[in-house]
Every structure is written in C-alpha cells, then in structure tokens.
C-alpha cells in the first residue's frame, strides 16, 4: 500500500501544480476580455483571434482543472444525504461512483476525443471565423483534461482504500490547514 500511496501523492502533486498554473488563466481571461472590449468600443477595432483565445483559455480552465477540483473534493455532492451517512459508507459510495461512473465516462470521452484532436492536428484545422486561430490546441485539451481527471480518480481510489484499511485519515474530511493534513498522511504511511 505504501507504493500506491506514493503514486497517489505523485498524482496529487501533478494535478495541484497544473491546477495552480491554469488558475492564473482566469486573470488572463479577464484582462484579455477587458482589453478586447476597450479596443472594440474606444478604437472600433476587434479581432476574432482574441475572442477565440478567450474561449481556449476558458476551456483550459474548465478541462485542465477537473482533476484539481477532484483533488480538493470540490465537485458537487448531495451533502444533505451524504452528511447523514457514516464515513465508511461515504467512502464506499465514492469507490462505487468512481469505478462505475467517473472512470468509464472519462475513459470514453478520452477515447472519443482523441481522433477529433488527431484530425485537427493532421489537417491543421483552422477556425472558420476571419482571423481565427488553429483548432488543435482546443481539441487537445479535451483528452488531456479527462486524462488528468482519470489520474486523479485513481489517486482518490487509492486514498479511499487506504482509509478503509486504517492507514490514513478520512480523505473526505476537510482539514483547516491542508499542510498539516498532509503531514499526518505522510506520518501514517511511513509507519
């Protein structure tokens, strides 16, 4: 189990770094949107490329941060129901949902989106809008985003199984200080 928990920590590290980098795109999107609006209204100049770049950045935030969101347990849950269940029952529900819903769905979307990306890459697909951008970067974000989500699902499965075996604290509990929680996990794994 130590080896699997080490893999889980590596996946968590990867999604944490990617998530923190991509979150800066929210600021970049806001600045780009503001600059585009100012340019359009004050100087009567605009570009479809700038609008499409905003769209690409929004897609990057949404897709590439899905694993980051799962890492931080921020996906939508039915808390009214789950809060009344025992921690072990919630963990078993997570395991079931991850194995039978999340991972098959993410794998299916990766499988379906890869040929679409490859077609855009090979054909150098361009936007149909005047002055638009190439499309393959946006097409690539779909399989990459769902791959990162699948990796994080594997990490979450490992953590839930480790909890059921009594090796780590409840991964669904939100500690006040995440750094302290990670120290507790590392301490228990090293035993």
CB 75 within 8 A of CB 149: no
pLDDT value at residue 176 = 62
| CA-angle at 167, arms to 166 and 170, nearest 5° | 70
- The one-digit pLDDT tens for each residue of the chain (191 residues) are 888 889 999 999 999 999 999 989 999 988 988 888 888 888 888 777 888 888 888 999 999 999 999 888 887 766 677 778 888 888 898 899 899 999 999 999 999 999 999 998 999 887 777 777 888 888 999 999 999 999 999 999 999 899 988 887 777 776 665 555 566 555 555 55
Strand, helix or coil for residue 79: helix
DSSP 21: H
pLDDT value at residue 190 = 56
The H-or-E segment that residue 40 falls in is helix 2-43
Q: What residue numbers bound the domain in which 186 lies? A: 2-190
> How many distinct structural domains can be found in the chain?
1
pLDDT value at residue 44 = 82
| CA-angle at 133, arms to 129 and 138, nearest 5° | 110
| CA-angle at 29, arms to 37 and 177, nearest 5° | 145
pLDDT value at residue 180 = 58
């Amino acid at each position: 189990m130590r080896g699997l928990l080490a893999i889980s920590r590596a996946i968590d590290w990867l999604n944490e770094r990617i998530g923190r980098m991509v979150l800066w795109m929210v600021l970049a999107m806001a600045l780009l949107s503001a600059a585009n609006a100012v340019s359009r209204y004050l100087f009567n100049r605009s570009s479809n490329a700038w609008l499409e770049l905003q769209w690409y950045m929004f897609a990057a935030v949404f897709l590439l941060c899905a694993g980051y969101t799962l890492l931080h347990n921020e996906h939508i849950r039915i808390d009214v129901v789950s809060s009344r269940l025992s921690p072990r029952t919630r963990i078993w529900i997570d395991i079931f949902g991850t194995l039978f819903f999340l991972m098959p769905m993410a794998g299916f979307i990766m499988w379906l989106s890869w040929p679409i990306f490859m077609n855009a890459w090979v054909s150098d697909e361009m936007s149909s809008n005047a002055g638009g951008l190439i499309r393959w970067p946006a097409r690539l974000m779909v399989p990459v985003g769902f791959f990162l989500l699948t990796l994080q699902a594997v990490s979450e499965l490992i953590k839930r199984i480790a909890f059921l075996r009594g090796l780590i604290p409840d991964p669904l509990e939100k500690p006040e200080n995440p750094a302290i929680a990670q120290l507790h996990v590392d301490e228990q794994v090293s035993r």
